[in-house]
Amino acid sequence: MAEPLSSLDQTNMLDALVDRTLRTVNEADAAAAVQRVAAIRTQRRLQDDALVEHLIRQKANQTGMVGAVTSAAALIPGFGSVAAFTVGVVTDVGVTLRLQSELVLEIAAARERTLTPTEARNALLVVTGLNMGAEQLVNQASRKLAEKAAERFAGRAIVKAIPFVGIAISAGANILMTYMIGRRADAYFQLGPEAVGDWSDSLRAITGLDERKLVAWLGDVMQDFGRAFVGGARRFGRATQDAAHRAGDAVAAHLFRRPRRA
């Protein structure tokens, strides 16, 4: 049986993952971010703070769903099969980091900042840089978000159908982290690196109104996840039933076919 990783080992692994993710960000990613932001400006007619808010919420919802699916794959027996019919099984935290890196580049585009590859990497390192202490603070805060989201859905079928709080904690952690990264990125591009501060300050800054907003976002993600889970389970059930019928027909045809005449 493998021994659990020490805090130092976990920190080193996280640092390595962040570094690997950021190394893959290039000029093509920045150009794609500019195109996405331009499309949203045109389609939704959003500018400045409203545009940034939309970008943050969009990525928060995406990373929240990644967290929900990853958690569900571990908590719900057979969910991997169901997920194959719905949102897909995601187990690599690199997916979340990649989405968060895209968010930083999108906010740069929203604030009309043109970045060289070096500038983009430096911004990503400052904005997304984590340590295990910050991660623990986020995990504690995400539990509170999950409990409040559970209160919002109390008595509904979704709470009874899945391990709601356990999945919501994972989704909430991703939403919270993505939201803070978005806010830190906006401060970075408007005011400079010195305005970003540490993660403890960033976490304290979201209490109150922002916290209620994040609970609402988490509730939306969990509602979407619940619909996807139920729909996927139904499709999976129908597919399994159809396969069983085909197999049964094949067996019946083999057992009861008439013998050939000599």
Does residue 261 lie within any of the structural domains?
no
CA 190 and chain centroid, separation: 26
Distances (CA, A) of 210 to 45, 80, 113, 188, 206: 24, 33, 26, 19, 5
Between 104 and 247, residue with greater pLDDT: 104
Entry pTM: 0.79
Give 180-234 pLDDT, tens digit per residue: 999 999 999 999 988 888 887 888 887 777 888 999 999 999 988 888 776 665 5
Residue at 3 is within a domain: no
In a domain, 248, yes or no: yes
- Would 262 be classed as within a structural domain? no
CA dihedral 73, 63, 90, 241 (to 10 degrees): 60
- pLDDT tens digits, residue range 22-33? 666 677 788 899
Query: Of 80-89, 131-140, 155-164, where does mean pLDDT reach its minimum?
Result: 80-89
* Domain encompassing residue 178: 8-256
In-domain check, residue 19? yes
* Residue 176 within a domain: yes
Mean pLDDT of 136-158: 86
What pLDDT does residue 19 have? 63
As a whole number of angstroms, the distance between CA 165 and CA 6 comes to 27
Residue-wise pLDDT for 206-220, tens only, equals 777 788 899 999 999
User: How many residues make up the chain in this entry?
Assistant: 262
Domain-embedded: residue 129: yes
Lowest mean pLDDT among 7-11, 114-118, 226-230: 7-11
The confidence score (pLDDT) of residue 17 equals: 59
The label of the residue with tokens 């209160």 reads 151
Long-range contacts formed by 39-45: CB under 8 A, 24+ apart: none
Number of domains in the chain: 1
Between CA 236 and CA 234 the distance in angstroms is 5
Q: Closest Cα to residue 178, out of 138, 149, 145? A: 138
Q: Which two tokens stand for residue 134?
A: 């910050």
Instruction: Note whether residue 185 is domain-resident.
Output: yes
Mean of pLDDT over the chain = 78
Q: Which helix H or strand E contains 159, and what residues bound it? A: helix 157-161
